[in-house]
Amino acid sequence: MKKICIICKNLKDENEFNEEHIFPESIGNKELKIYRVCKECNEKRLSKIDASLTNHKLIETRRLMYKIPGKKGIIPNPFENGVLESDPEQKVKLSFDNQNRVKIYNIPKISKPIQNKENKRIDITIDNKDKNNLQDIINKKLNRMGASELYREEEQIIEKHPNTIHNLTIDNKQYKKAIIKIAYELGFYFLGEKYLKDRVGEFLRLFLMDDLNEWSNCDLGHIDFIDKEDNRLYITLVNLLKIKKYEHLAFIFIVDQKIHIIIRIFDLIDALIIISKEPDLYRIPEKDLIIIDSRSGEVEKYKFSQKVTNKNKATI
């Protein structure tokens, strides 16, 4: 049986399709999927669009915190390349332990040999964790220098809780396309086959097909990093639903004869997008709210109004 790919709109054989995760798998969505994107669109176009979100440095901080691996099983570390504030020559790597406490690892630093009258000196700085490997590190260096004798002079602990500096380049544009992809696919997921003829839906689809187009916040809604200070809608929603930092959210609703979708990614990105201006053509499904636990990848679907009353009952 042939079906239409919702991205390129070509009619293709069943076996030319594969599963498409609406929220990317690499931000912790295992279950919310559609089977209406052809392999070609999925592998060429969408994986690139998804990557602008999943490899975003701020998103990577959460993936590191909640231990969410990518397709190859690797958990990203945006703090891989840092230096000590007190010693910009000293490279460090940050990670989180099981209690989400920050751990700093000093990458071993070995100075060039410093020659004085009687002898050569090298300075070695290592992380406390490497203490037991110090002899190995020294021997390796001595071998390379062709030296055999060793006088160990001093050992000193420099700083216990140093400040570190990391340069993160934060993308401000590309990731928005990934959010539009989620919104468009949610449109299809919630509204079904008819959505492929929607005028706003078509606008969103063409936006995804265009490599050059940049999303600027317009009359179809906004996509932004969450600024908790002035984002009332976000605060209201999070308080009402008791959303956790590691949860993603999607919510579909009609206001002013327009179908809106709210998308939240972790506690970082917040979007409100109009996905249709023809609400009379559709029936919004009873379960209009989706919450994804990024740590387990599990997806829960709710009726928004029920979730709100249940949550509030529970807290009274």
- Give the footprint of Zn ion on this chain (CB under 5 A): 5, 7-8, 38, 41
Per-residue H/E/C for the chain: CEEECCCCCCEEEHHHEEEEECCCHHHCCCCCEEEEEEHHHHHHHHHHHHHHHHCCHHHHHHHHHCCCCCCCCCCCCCCCCEEECCCCCCEEEEEECCCCCEEEEECCEECCCEECCCCEECCEECCHHHHHHHHHHHHHHHHHHCCCCCCCCCCCCCCCCCCEEECCCCCCCHHHHHHHHHHHHHHHHHHCHHHHHCHHHHHHHHHHHCCCCCCCCECCEEEEECCCCCCHHHHHHHHHHCCCCCEEEEEEEEECCEEEEEEEECCCEEEEEEEECCHHHCCCCCCCEEEEECCCCCEEEECHHHHHHHHHHHHC
**To the nearest whole angstrom, how small is the minimum distance from the Cβ of residue 6 to Zn ion?**
8
**To the nearest whole angstrom, how small is the minimum distance from the Cβ of residue 100 to Zn ion?**
40
**To the nearest whole angstrom, how small is the minimum distance from the Cβ of residue 9 to Zn ion?**
7
**To the nearest whole angstrom, how small is the minimum distance from the Cβ of residue 36 to Zn ion?**
9
Nearer to Zn ion, 40 or 298 (CB): 40
Nearer to Zn ion, 37 or 271 (CB): 37
Nearer to Zn ion, 35 or 228 (CB): 35
**To the nearest whole angstrom, how small is the minimum distance from the Cβ of residue 246 to Zn ion?**
32
Nearer to Zn ion, 184 or 282 (CB): 184
Nearer to Zn ion, 178 or 243 (CB): 178
